[in-house]
Amino acid sequence: MNLGADAVNAQLRSDGTPLPRIPPVRGRIGFEWRYRDLSVQPELVLVNRQDRLYVDETPTAGYALANLTATYTVTRRHGLHLFSVNLFNAGDRLYRNHASLIKDFAPEIGRGVRLAYTVRFF
């Protein structure tokens, strides 16, 4: 089981005004399933809305993202060969990252697939 959470509360000491581009509260939950040389890792990312704003900043809505990573490992005498596929934003959710400088003009990337091949020598 993989769990994580983070939160930032930053403000000016003089008057308590929130600082710019502070990320909202975020949490992740996922797990890793292994069978021989195959590893599968589904994950859910939950992000709260951000309405504690600096001057002229715009609020952002909360969102949830589903991600999935699968890796197949081939072990050799002096190296590992890792074949990975990563499906991110599986639900093709339209969302905006509050910490982004261009969030008011462009949302974050939609659904995507990333393929990777990695060699680790030892």
Q: Note down pLDDT in tens along the chain; length 122 residues.
A: 999 999 999 999 999 999 999 999 999 999 999 999 999 999 999 999 999 999 999 999 999 999 999 999 999 999 999 999 999 999 999 999 999 999 999 999 999 999 999 999 99
- Two structure tokens written together for 121: 């020598």
Q: Report how far residue 53's alpha carbon sits from residue 106's, in angstroms, rounded to the nearest whole number.
A: 19
Q: Indicate the number of domains in the chain.
A: 1
Measured CA to CA, the distance from residue 106 to residue 109 in angstroms comes to: 9
Q: Which domain holds residue 59?
A: 2-121
The pTM score is: 0.87
